[in-house]
Structure 1
Amino acid sequence: MAASRIVIENCAIATVDAHDTEYPTGHVVVADHLIESVGPGRAPAGLADVVRRIDGTGHLATPGLVNTHHHFYQWITRGLATDHHLFDWLVALYPTWARLDEQMVRAAARGSLAMMARGGVTTAMDHHYVYPRGSGDLSGAIIGAAGDMGVRFTLARGSMDRGRSDGGLPPDFAVETLDGALAATEETIDTHHDPSFDAMTQIAVAPCSPFSVSTQLLRQGAELARRKGVRLHTHGSETVEEEQFCRELFGLGPTDYLESTGWLGPDVWMAHCIHMDDADIAAFARTGTGVAHCPSSNARLGAGIARVPDLLAAGVPVGLGVDGTASNEAGELHTELRNALLVNRLGPRREAALTARQALRLGTYGGAQVLGRADGIGSLEAGKLADLVLWRLDTLAHASIADPVAALVLGAAAPVTLSLVNGRPIVEDNRLTTVDEDAIARETRTEAQRLARADSRTS
């Protein structure tokens, strides 16, 4: 059967391939769900079965953005506890999150996904770890929302089994049992994980953090993930308080503790990784452990500045994450390109910390590496999956910026003229094509208000 082709021409292109190949004006040809060709000038003549031809004049084409850390449910608890550090912020919000139900989680997932997709994200992930008793099929609700949106998706099926009575931060009624968490995680993998090259849904094993899960859950979670052939995700080295917690409880820093439980390796990525010394970075580099860098959330919670230039220099895979929107109310990954560059220039390397192109790589190919999907996404190359974004750069906000990559990274948020996932449009002219944005806005407001009422009745 002949392939249906989409041809994009006359645009600047940043391929983010191994050589950082760029074209001031070039073309991309998509055949069904794959990229058929990328190159300078116009597309080859005589292409058959062209169903759409797009003039990309004034635009930049890039790989779709890849989000490597998020908590979708927080979309309906934005704007709370705005002046807290992480531990106090969690203590303030855990009781509210423990009131979540399936309807709330579905609405929050739709809101989070819509905001990211409209801003150029083609591969999303959600680290969901709050499973209140009797709350319904929360994992199914999240996966269904991603399917409706049309984005590529990884659900990091999280868990917590260390409640306050066991020395953890969450209230006891917000945690699962060890056996219950492991069984539910395995069932989620068996039901939803697709290991194929062009998979739209994948599952990772993701106990929440050293201060909310038992050592047994970490160890047995790692064993489960490797038995099932899926990736592992958790939080690590986010705050100085976490460092103190691990040393007091386990006699080890976070990296050494997590390594002792099987949680370093090329199939592992961790969120934040701010408070790491040279030995920690060397351990990540030695084992191939990846990092999800979340600059806006780190700043919002006053957690610190991750050593991203040092991680990259050591060869550690690094991607970008939005993090939950209770600590990053914008919920947009493309703003993290800019913030990653700016925040890291406040560190010791100053203006030499990151370039605009390194920031773009973090948000595309780096994220694909972290999620274990660099063979199919993260760069514009023939044979890869057709996940790409066409950014408009000829409006007032960007038209006088000489370098299109700098315009995208350092300028105002660029409108998305077209976003393709698997060759299918999910955004056209800065509007979602697969869902009703206005209906999602109404739905999320309703569910946020319902959660607030439920929390006020039980507080």
Structure 2
Amino acid sequence: MASLLIKNARSIVTMDADKTVYPGGSLYAEGQEIKAIGVHIPYETADTVIDASGKIVYPGLINTHHHLYQTFTRNIPWAQDCELFDWLLTLYDIWRHMRPEDVYLSALTGLGELLKTGCTTASDHFYCFPDGISGELIDEEIRAAAELGIRFFPTRGSMNLGRSQGGLPPDEVTQSIDVILKDTQRVIETYHDDSRFAMVRVGVAPCSPFSVSEDLLRESAHLARSYGVRLHTHLAETKDEEQFCLEKLGMRPLEYMEKTGWVGSDVWFAHGIYFNKGEISRMGACGCGVAHCPSSNMKLSSGVFPLRDMMEAGVKVGLGVDGSASNDASNLLGEARQAYLLHKLMSGSRGPSAAESLWLGTVGSSRVLGWDDAIGSLEAGKAADLFMIDSRKLEYAGALFDDTALPVVTGISQNVDMTVVGGKIVVRDGRLVGIDEERIAAAAQAAASRMVQVAARHTGVSYMKHRSRS
């Protein structure tokens, strides 16, 4: 079992229950597990020794919501100024042309960017399965995660309510209930690991109220609970979704989830902007979690998440990047900063401190994923998942007065110096270990260009132009 010693750090920010910070601290791990942490620990050597002089050590960030396949539709001019429903309708016509290799490359790209910005655990919601393409697309993401060394929580998404049945997505990217449930069962049985230091856990994730049927929601919940895995879906993201539910279903989004069995301590929703006070109280009482995605919510003009109301009601809240195409980045440290600034703007003194924003992306996110026994903070007995920044860099000069707040309040360029997952170095000197970044970047851009070009031939849309505002 390999061992790791990090010594002489400027400080170790633990995010434990006491918010302990160890100036001049050290950390020792065997295998994936932290065995000792503090200023004076009884370890002087290990298989890998890192002199962290000048470095600040933080718990690895945890991403609770993403769509990695959307990495290849970032910065598309035709979709840049759309709100959610029009944005989806535009991009479905591109996504329907993705191949298994595109899914693999987009996952390498998105997960690699997450690792380089301090994220050590990432959840992903994969729900788009084009006609005529292998249904085993989520396997490509899992393959990419294993190569990078990131802790991964893919959720097998689904859509079965196409336009011909009154839903939003084109029929060409939906599947039948039988196909969905059979493959979801396969993914769980093949990949899910419920051990504390698992590298892959699996969830069940029908896409949204406007793209799945009531039967699929019920059957998916039953399947997930029969295997003891978690449930995830989009909910209360926009006013359009709320109106859809009221008109088509005769009830508000959360009422629909309650009716179909989609509430409880094993459920987390993405976005959660348009819950009222009573709904927030019910969510807190039953233990639901929410992935807060501030950049995506701002870009798509969706609204502002009621962060303080959620936290005061006991709702579990973590941070998510959301799809790269509604964010244009896979930067969870950036999301912590966005959450900090957005809620300062909207809520003043009720907004989170920088330390609270970091807590959301670490401990808060671990609770949303039901994984707080192993990740989210740096403590003996937990996983050696962490990142480091070098406090001696120019961008931190004049700011070294609060190490906990530092990465949230300073700067926009947020690549970290080192990322460690399960005691293994996966980013060193700001670069992915064992990955040819330039080769992957070139292959990824070529695949993205092909998808857009094929879509343009099929639709006649010039995706490189901005829509007319007339």
- Structure 2 length normalisation: TM-score? 0.94
CA distance in 2, matches of 1:192, 1:17: 30
Aligned position for 1:52: 48
CA distance in 2, matches of 1:271, 1:451: 27
How far did 1:42 drift? 4.5
1:368 is aligned to 2:369: no
CA distance in 2, matches of 1:346, 1:353: 8
Once the two structures are superposed, the pairs formed by residues 115-194 of structure 1 within 5 Å of their partners are 115-136=113-134, 137-194=136-193
Q: Is the 8 A contact 2:67 2:323 kept in 1?
A: yes
Q: CA RMSD in A?
A: 1.3
User: What is the one-letter code of the residue matched to 1:75?
Assistant: T
Aligned position for 2:71: 75
Q: Is the 8 A contact 1:7 1:43 kept in 2?
A: no
Aligned position for 1:279: 278
Q: Is the 8 A contact 2:9 2:56 kept in 1?
A: no
Q: Secondary structure at the match of 1:50?
A: coil
User: Once superposed, which parts of structure 1, at least 4 consecutive aligned residues long, lie more than 3 Å away?
Assistant: none
CA distance in 2, matches of 1:263, 1:257: 8
How far did 1:414 drift? 4.0
Q: Is the 8 A contact 1:198 1:385 kept in 2?
A: yes
CA distance in 2, matches of 1:429, 1:48: 24
CA distance in 2, matches of 1:179, 1:119: 39
User: What is the one-letter code of the residue matched to 1:14?
Assistant: V
Aligned position for 2:457: 457
Per-residue CA deviations over 1:159-208 (Å, capped at 9, x if unaligned) read: 00000011111011110011111111111111111111111011100000
Once the two structures are superposed, the pairs formed by residues 400-439 of structure 1 within 5 Å of their partners are 400-401=398-399, 402-412=401-411, 413-439=413-439
Q: Is the 8 A contact 1:393 1:407 kept in 2?
A: no
How far did 1:335 drift? 0.3
Per-residue CA deviations over 1:344-397 (Å, capped at 9, x if unaligned) read: 1222x3133101111001111111111111000000000111111112222111
Q: 1:178 to 1:273 in 2, by over 3 A?
A: same
CA distance in 1, matches of 2:220, 2:415: 41
CA distance in 1, matches of 2:366, 2:319: 10
How far did 1:117 drift? 0.7
Aligned position for 1:251: 250
Which residue among 98, 101, 104 is the counterpart of 1:100?
98
How far did 1:125 drift? 1.4
Once the two structures are superposed, the pairs formed by residues 313-392 of structure 1 within 5 Å of their partners are 313-347=312-346, 349-392=347-390
> How many residue pairs are counted as aligned between the two chains?
454
How far did 1:320 drift? 0.5
CA distance in 1, matches of 2:390, 2:133: 42
CA distance in 1, matches of 2:3, 2:91: 49
CA distance in 1, matches of 2:57, 2:185: 39
Q: Is the 8 A contact 1:197 1:376 kept in 2?
A: yes
Q: Is the 8 A contact 1:392 1:415 kept in 2?
A: no
Aligned position for 1:303: 302
How far did 1:332 drift? 0.8
How far did 1:49 drift? 5.0
CA distance in 1, matches of 2:315, 2:435: 37
Per-residue CA deviations over 1:308-348 (Å, capped at 9, x if unaligned) read: 1111111111110011111111221110011001111222x
How far did 1:432 drift? 0.6
Q: Is the 8 A contact 1:391 1:414 kept in 2?
A: no
How far did 1:21 drift? 1.4
CA distance in 2, matches of 1:398, 1:42: 27
CA distance in 2, matches of 1:457, 1:79: 19
CA distance in 1, matches of 2:197, 2:234: 27
CA distance in 2, matches of 1:72, 1:414: 20
Q: Secondary structure at the match of 2:345?
A: coil
Q: Is the 8 A contact 2:334 2:414 kept in 1?
A: no
CA distance in 2, matches of 1:275, 1:434: 43
Q: Is the 8 A contact 1:160 1:212 kept in 2?
A: yes
CA distance in 1, matches of 2:211, 2:364: 28
Aligned position for 2:196: 197
How far did 1:43 drift? 3.6
Aligned position for 1:234: 233
CA distance in 2, matches of 1:49, 1:310: 47
Alignment gaps of 5+ in structure 1: none
How far did 1:10 drift? 2.9
CA distance in 2, matches of 1:407, 1:292: 23
Comparing 131-140 and 252-261, the one that deviates more: 131-140
Q: Is the 8 A contact 2:5 2:26 kept in 1?
A: no
How far did 1:431 drift? 0.6
CA distance in 2, matches of 1:448, 1:36: 44
How far did 1:415 drift? 4.2
- Structure 1 length normalisation: TM-score? 0.96
Q: Is the 8 A contact 2:9 2:57 kept in 1?
A: no
CA distance in 1, matches of 2:286, 2:41: 42
Per-residue CA deviations over 1:401-449 (Å, capped at 9, x if unaligned) read: 1212222111114442221111000001111103111111111101001
Q: Secondary structure at the match of 1:19?
A: coil
Q: Secondary structure at the match of 2:9?
A: strand
